Protein backbone atom coordinates (compact mmCIF):
# COMPACT_ATOMS: atom_id res chain seq x y z
CA UNK A 1 0.00 0.00 0.00
CA UNK A 2 2.85 2.38 0.80
CA UNK A 3 4.34 1.88 -2.67
CA UNK A 4 0.95 2.49 -4.30
CA UNK A 5 0.42 5.70 -2.34
CA UNK A 6 3.96 6.90 -3.12
CA UNK A 7 3.49 6.17 -6.84
CA UNK A 8 0.09 7.91 -6.95
CA UNK A 9 1.44 10.95 -5.15
CA UNK A 10 4.28 11.19 -7.68
CA UNK A 11 1.53 11.47 -10.31
CA UNK A 12 -0.11 14.29 -8.36
CA UNK A 13 -2.88 12.47 -6.48
CA UNK A 14 -3.51 12.91 -2.76
CA UNK A 15 -3.31 9.90 -0.45
CA UNK A 16 -7.08 10.22 0.17
CA UNK A 17 -7.79 10.02 -3.58
CA UNK A 18 -5.53 7.00 -3.92
CA UNK A 19 -7.06 5.20 -0.96
CA UNK A 20 -10.55 5.93 -2.30
CA UNK A 21 -9.61 4.50 -5.72
CA UNK A 22 -8.08 1.37 -4.15
CA UNK A 23 -11.13 0.84 -1.93
CA UNK A 24 -13.45 1.34 -4.90
CA UNK A 25 -11.45 -1.07 -7.06
CA UNK A 26 -11.48 -3.64 -4.27
CA UNK A 27 -15.22 -3.22 -3.69
CA UNK A 28 -15.85 -3.64 -7.43
CA UNK A 29 -13.67 -6.78 -7.45
CA UNK A 30 -11.06 -5.27 -9.78
CA UNK A 31 -8.39 -5.77 -7.12
CA UNK A 32 -8.01 -8.21 -4.26
CA UNK A 33 -6.29 -7.24 -1.01
CA UNK A 34 -4.02 -9.61 0.88
CA UNK A 35 -4.59 -10.07 3.74
CA UNK A 36 -8.25 -9.38 3.03
CA UNK A 37 -9.45 -7.93 6.33
CA UNK A 38 -6.50 -5.87 7.42
CA UNK A 39 -5.97 -2.14 7.75
CA UNK A 40 -2.24 -2.79 7.85
CA UNK A 41 -0.29 -0.50 5.49
CA UNK A 42 1.68 -3.60 4.39
CA UNK A 43 -1.34 -4.90 2.46
CA UNK A 44 -0.66 -6.16 -1.00
CA UNK A 45 -3.01 -5.98 -3.95
CA UNK A 46 -3.37 -8.10 -7.00
CA UNK A 47 -5.57 -7.80 -10.02
CA UNK A 48 -8.58 -10.12 -10.22
CA UNK A 49 -9.95 -11.76 -13.36
CA UNK A 50 -12.60 -9.02 -13.47
CA UNK A 51 -9.87 -6.38 -13.22
CA UNK A 52 -7.78 -8.07 -15.90
CA UNK A 53 -10.78 -8.28 -18.25
CA UNK A 54 -11.55 -4.60 -17.65
CA UNK A 55 -7.94 -3.63 -18.31
CA UNK A 56 -7.13 -5.97 -21.20
CA UNK A 57 -10.45 -6.02 -23.09
CA UNK A 58 -13.10 -3.60 -21.89
CA UNK A 59 -11.07 -0.37 -21.70
CA UNK A 60 -10.41 -0.48 -25.44
CA UNK A 61 -14.08 -0.44 -26.39
CA UNK A 62 -16.66 2.20 -27.20
CA UNK A 63 -19.03 0.69 -24.62
CA UNK A 64 -16.53 1.27 -21.82
CA UNK A 65 -15.62 4.83 -22.85
CA UNK A 66 -19.28 5.68 -23.32
CA UNK A 67 -19.97 4.49 -19.78
CA UNK A 68 -17.04 6.16 -18.00
CA UNK A 69 -17.02 9.52 -19.78
CA UNK A 70 -19.87 10.74 -17.58
CA UNK A 71 -17.96 9.91 -14.37
CA UNK A 72 -14.49 11.04 -15.40
CA UNK A 73 -13.34 14.45 -14.18
CA UNK A 74 -12.26 16.47 -17.23
CA UNK A 75 -9.65 19.02 -16.21
CA UNK A 76 -9.35 20.67 -19.63
CA UNK A 77 -12.15 23.26 -19.86
CA UNK A 78 -12.29 23.17 -23.69
CA UNK A 79 -12.51 19.38 -23.72
CA UNK A 80 -15.20 19.43 -21.03
CA UNK A 81 -17.36 21.73 -23.17
CA UNK A 82 -17.15 19.28 -26.10
CA UNK A 83 -18.15 16.26 -23.99
CA UNK A 84 -21.81 17.14 -23.54
CA UNK A 85 -24.47 14.74 -22.36
CA UNK A 86 -26.21 13.05 -25.28
CA UNK A 87 -28.63 10.21 -26.00
CA UNK A 88 -28.40 9.64 -29.75
CA UNK A 89 -26.01 6.78 -30.64
CA UNK A 90 -24.18 8.78 -33.33
CA UNK A 91 -23.58 11.61 -30.86
CA UNK A 92 -22.44 9.14 -28.19
CA UNK A 93 -19.92 7.60 -30.61
CA UNK A 94 -18.62 11.07 -31.47
CA UNK A 95 -18.41 11.94 -27.76
CA UNK A 96 -16.44 8.72 -27.07
CA UNK A 97 -14.03 9.62 -29.90
CA UNK A 98 -13.54 13.10 -28.40
CA UNK A 99 -13.04 11.53 -24.96
CA UNK A 100 -10.40 9.18 -26.40
CA UNK A 101 -8.65 12.21 -27.95
CA UNK A 102 -8.71 13.89 -24.52
CA UNK A 103 -7.21 10.75 -22.94
CA UNK A 104 -4.57 10.60 -25.71
CA UNK A 105 -3.62 14.23 -25.03
CA UNK A 106 -3.57 13.61 -21.26
CA UNK A 107 -1.36 10.55 -21.72
CA UNK A 108 1.23 12.59 -23.62
CA UNK A 109 3.07 13.67 -20.45
CA UNK A 110 3.28 10.01 -19.29
CA UNK A 111 4.16 8.41 -22.62
CA UNK A 112 7.90 8.06 -22.00
CA UNK A 113 7.61 7.07 -18.34
CA UNK A 114 8.24 3.51 -17.25
CA UNK A 115 4.78 2.50 -15.98
CA UNK A 116 3.01 -0.84 -16.08
CA UNK A 117 -0.04 0.83 -17.66
CA UNK A 118 0.18 1.95 -21.29
CA UNK A 119 -2.81 3.89 -22.61
CA UNK A 120 -1.46 3.66 -26.18
CA UNK A 121 -1.61 -0.13 -26.01
CA UNK A 122 -4.96 -0.26 -24.23
CA UNK A 123 -6.61 2.15 -26.68
CA UNK A 124 -5.45 0.42 -29.90
CA UNK A 125 -8.62 -1.68 -30.28
CA UNK A 126 -10.77 1.48 -30.22
CA UNK A 127 -10.29 2.19 -33.94
CA UNK A 128 -11.51 -1.29 -34.87
CA UNK A 129 -14.48 -0.89 -32.53
CA UNK A 130 -15.38 2.48 -34.10
CA UNK A 131 -15.12 0.94 -37.59
CA UNK A 132 -17.45 -1.88 -36.51
CA UNK A 133 -19.94 0.61 -35.07
CA UNK A 134 -19.79 2.78 -38.19
CA UNK A 135 -20.53 -0.28 -40.37
CA UNK A 136 -23.45 -1.24 -38.13
CA UNK A 137 -24.87 2.29 -38.18
CA UNK A 138 -24.50 2.45 -41.98
CA UNK A 139 -26.34 -0.86 -42.36
CA UNK A 140 -29.10 0.33 -40.02
CA UNK A 141 -29.46 3.58 -41.98
CA UNK A 142 -29.60 1.64 -45.25
CA UNK A 143 -32.28 -0.70 -43.91
CA UNK A 144 -34.27 2.30 -42.69
CA UNK A 145 -34.09 3.89 -46.15
CA UNK A 146 -35.17 0.66 -47.78
CA UNK A 147 -38.13 0.33 -45.40
CA UNK A 148 -39.43 3.77 -46.41
Within 13 A of 113's CA, how many CA atoms are on the CB side? Answer: 12
Q: Name which of 28-32, 64-68, 112-116, 137-141 the model is least confident about.
A: 112-116
- Quick check: 21 and 1 in contact, CB under 8 A? no
Provide the whole-model pTM: 0.80
Work out the average pLDDT over 82-97: 92
Does residue 132 surpass a pLDDT of 80? yes
Cα separation of 54 and 50, whole Å?
Answer: 6
Amino acid sequence: MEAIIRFGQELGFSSAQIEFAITHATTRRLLQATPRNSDDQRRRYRITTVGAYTYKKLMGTFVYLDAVVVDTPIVDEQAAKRLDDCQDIEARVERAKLFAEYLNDSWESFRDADHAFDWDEVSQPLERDYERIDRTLSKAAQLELEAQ
